[in-house]
Amino acid sequence: MYREEQSFTLRFSLEASFPDDYEGEEDQRAWTGEWEARMKPDILKTVFEALRRHPGWSAHIRNRGISTLDEIEVVVEKDFGKPQPFSI
């Protein structure tokens, strides 16, 4: 089977500002908790909902050994070897 690939990157950089008297990472980066618990899952849910609206394409998460705290790769695939969905 012949396979072609193309990459597209959508990168989120999280930043936080603290007052001058802040002593460093004593809170174990607690400020990222909302991102990991609510925001990131909501974004992924929205992405997959949008991708499901496109017949003939499938999507799944691929793990390349990088922590999901640092990266989530979403593979969007079209298989031309399978019959394409018919819609009216």
User: CA-CA distance, 21 to 16, in Å (whole number)?
Assistant: 14
Assess if residue 26 is contained within a domain: no
User: How many distinct structural domains can be found in the chain?
Assistant: 1
Assess if residue 16 is contained within a domain: no
Collapse the DSSP code of 15 into the 3-class scheme (helix H, G, I; strand E, B; otherwise coil) and give the result: coil
Grade residue 85 by pLDDT with cuts at 50, 70 and 90. low
Of the candidates 70, 71, 75, 35, the residue with the CA atom closest to the CA atom of residue 51 = 75
Of the candidates 60, 61, 58, 64, the residue with the CA atom closest to the CA atom of residue 77 = 58
Assess if residue 40 is contained within a domain: yes
pLDDT tens for each residue of 51-70:
999 999 999 999 889 999 99
Torsion of CA 18, 20, 21, 24, to 10 degrees: 50
Assess if residue 85 is contained within a domain: no
Structure tokens given for 48: 């997959």
Listed range (16-20, 23-27, 58-62, 70-74) with the worst mean pLDDT: 23-27
Assess if residue 52 is contained within a domain: yes
- Higher pLDDT among residues 2 and 84, named by residue: 2
Assess if residue 71 is contained within a domain: yes
Rounded mean pLDDT of the chain?
Answer: 90
Assess if residue 25 is contained within a domain: no
Assess if residue 38 is contained within a domain: yes
Q: Report pLDDT for 84.
A: 66
